[in-house]
Structure 1
Amino acid sequence: MDFADKSRCGHDSSVHGERDHRGRERYALTDTHHGDVWGVCEALDGLFGEPRRGTYELFGWVPQDDDVRRWVGSRAWLVPDDGALEPWLLEDAESLGPLPGSDSLVLTGQDDHEGPPEGHRGPVRVHDGSRWLGSCREFARTLPSERAAPPLVLRGLAQSDRLRTALRTGTRRALDLEQAALEIRDARGEPLTDRLLWATVRDWGPSACGADLIDLELDGEFFTPVPAYAQPVWDQWLAGPPDTPGAWGGLDTRHREVWLDLVRDRACRRPHRDRPAAHAYELDGRRITDEPGLYLALGEAVNGPGGYFGGCLDALTDCLRGSFGYSAPATLLWRNAATARERLSRNLAPCGRPFDLFAEVLDVLAEGGMHITLA
C-alpha cells in the first residue's frame, strides 16, 4: 500500500474527495452497533468496482422475440416452467449472447438472497418485468471465480480515540471493527447515502494528507462496491442534488434505477415537512417511459427536483400516509399521461402474471386521497 500518494488526499479517480464549504468531511466510518464514529476523511479508494456476479447457462434457449443481447434489466425473473416452485430474481442481469457452437444463452447477474431452488435444474421462462424474453429446457449456474477483492482505503482519516486504541493494540480481535457503515455526504455537506460493510483492518500508516492523519486499508472481501457503470450518476449526486426537474430524463433504465436508489437513500436521511391538505400538484409525464421514471417523476411532482415519493407500490402507499411532503386530500394534474399509459400498462409480476402498473398506480394514489386529472 502506498501511503505517500499526495494526489489522493483531496481527489481520486474514483470519488470526488474535496472538503465541502461547510468544513464537514465527505466520508465517515461508523460503528453500526454503538453509533460511534471510527473516523472521518475526505477521500477514499475502492468505492466503485465490479460486484461478484453469477453466470447462468440456459440450455436450449428459445427467444420470445428478438434475441437477448447486452443488458437485460434490473430485475430479471427466472420462472420454473412447472409452476410448482417460486420464481427467483437475478438482479442487474446482462446477456453475453449465445454460446458459440451451442443452443445456449449465457446470462450473468447478482442472485437475490435466495437464488434458484435447491437442486432445481429444469425448464425455466425468463422475463424482465415487462416482457417475456424466452425459455430454456434446463440451466446450469456457475458461481463467480474466486479473486482477490481490492481493498477499501480511507485516505487522510482523522481517527477517533477508540480507533487509535484498536490500532495501537494491533491484535486480530482489535482490528476486527465488526459491522460498520460508510456514511457519505455530498459536496454541500448533506447526508446522501451509506454502504454497509464488515470493517476488518488490513493495514494503516501515516498519510501524506496531513499531520496526525492516517490512510486506513480495510479488507475488500467484506465490502460490496458500487457497480462501475453507476459512477457517472453518483458523480452528479456527490456534487449536490439537482436544482432543476427532469435531470434524469436522458438516462436509460439502468442508470435511472441508480438515480432512484440515491433519491431514496437521501430522502431517508432528511426531515420532511408535509404540505397542508388541498395542495395542487402537477406531474410532467413526458419522461415516464419505464418504471423508475414513473417514481422519479412522482417524487419531483410532490417534493421538487431530486424529490422522493415512493419507489414501488408499497413505498408509494407509505408515502401517501404522511411524513414525505404530502397531506390528503390533494389534487394531481398528470400531463402527458398517455406516455405512461402506453409504456406501463403491460407489466409482468414475478410469477409472470400480467398486470397494469399504470392503472395500479392510479388506484393507489386515489386510495391515498389524491384526486387525479389526466391530461
Structure 2
Amino acid sequence: MMAKPKNGKRGKTAGSAQKWSIVLILTFLFVASAFLQPVQARVSATILGFRASENRYFTIFYRERNLRLAAILSADSDSFARRFCSELGLKKPATPIPVYIDPNSSGKTEVFPSPRWVNGFYDPAKRIIVIKTARQLGRGAEAEILVVFRHEAVHAILHENIAHIPRWLDEGLAQSFSRGFTIQNGRTLLGVPVKNFRNYLPESAFQHENTAKLAYTLSSGLVSYLRELGRTPLTVFLKRLKETDLETAFNSAYGINLSFFFYMFRENYLSRYTLFSLIVSDEGLFGVMTLLAVVLLLIQKIRNRRKLVRLGEEDEKEERERDARLTAEVAKTAEGEERKGGREKNLTQGH
C-alpha cells in the first residue's frame, strides 16, 4: 500500500518559497529604485536646463550663470553633512539629495515657483532642496547661500532619520546649525515669560505671521541650549524620538520634564543676555574697553586738531608782528633818509 504524500508539509514548503520570492522581488525593486532615483533626477534636470555637480551626499543642479554658487555649495555640502550627522548620531543620506539653485524670477526660467520671501525650502515628497536666494546675492555675499543650504540640508537629513519630529526641534536644529543664536535673539526672548513658551512651539505658531518670528527665535535658542548641555543627551533624545513621544523621550535623555527645561533655559541661558551680564562678560568687557579706547582716540584727535589750530594762529600772530616790526623799521629808515637828504639840501643852498 502506497504511503500518502504529506500535503501539509509540501504546502508549507511551497508557501515559504513563495514568501522568499516576494521578499527577493521587493528587495530588488528597492535597490533598483534607489539606483534609478539619482539617474532619473539627472535626466529630468538636464531636460530642465540644469547642469549637475555630483557629490557624495548632495547633487547640486545649477545653470551656467550660477556656476560660482554651485562651486561654493559643492565644496561645503559633504563636509557639513558629515559634521552634522556625526554630532547628532544620525545616518548620512544613502543616496545624494538633489539641490536645485533656482532663483526667484519673473520670467519662465523659474522651475520651482515659491513666494518671493522664501529663501529656500525642502520638499520631502520629492526629496529635493531648492535654493531661491541666488538672484539677490552679489559677490561677497556667498555666506548667505551657505546659511540657506545648511538650514534646508538639516531638514532633509532629519526627515530621513526621524519620521515624526516636532516642528520646534526641526526648525531649532536647522537654525542652530546654519545661522546660529545671536545676542539680538537672546535680548528678544528676555521679554517672553516662561509660561508663554509653549504657545510658540506648536506647528501653527510657525505658520502665522504674528507668532512665526518668535517661534523660530525660541526654537533656535532652545536647541542652542540643548547643544550646550552636551552631545550625548541630545543624541539619546533624538534616538528616543524614533520610538516614543516627545515628553517621554526628553525625560529619558535629560532626566527632567520640558517645563523645568524651559525654566532652566530662561534662568541659565537667557540670563547671560541681560544688559548687566553682557557688560560684565568677557565679550562685554572687551567691547567696553574697545569703546573706551575709541573714545580716547577721538578725544586725542580733537585735542591734536585744536592744538594745530592754536599753533597756526600763533604762527600767524608772530608773522603779523614780524611784518609790523619790519614795516616800522622800513618807515623809520625812510624817515631818516628823508631828514638826511633835507639837511644836505639846506647846506647846499647855504653855500
Same fold (TM over 0.5): no
Query: Which is greater in Rg?
Result: 2
| Higher relative strand content | 1
Normalising by structure 2, what TM-score? 0.27
Normalising by structure 1, what TM-score? 0.26
User: Greater RCO between the two (CA within 8 Å, min separation 6)?
Assistant: 1
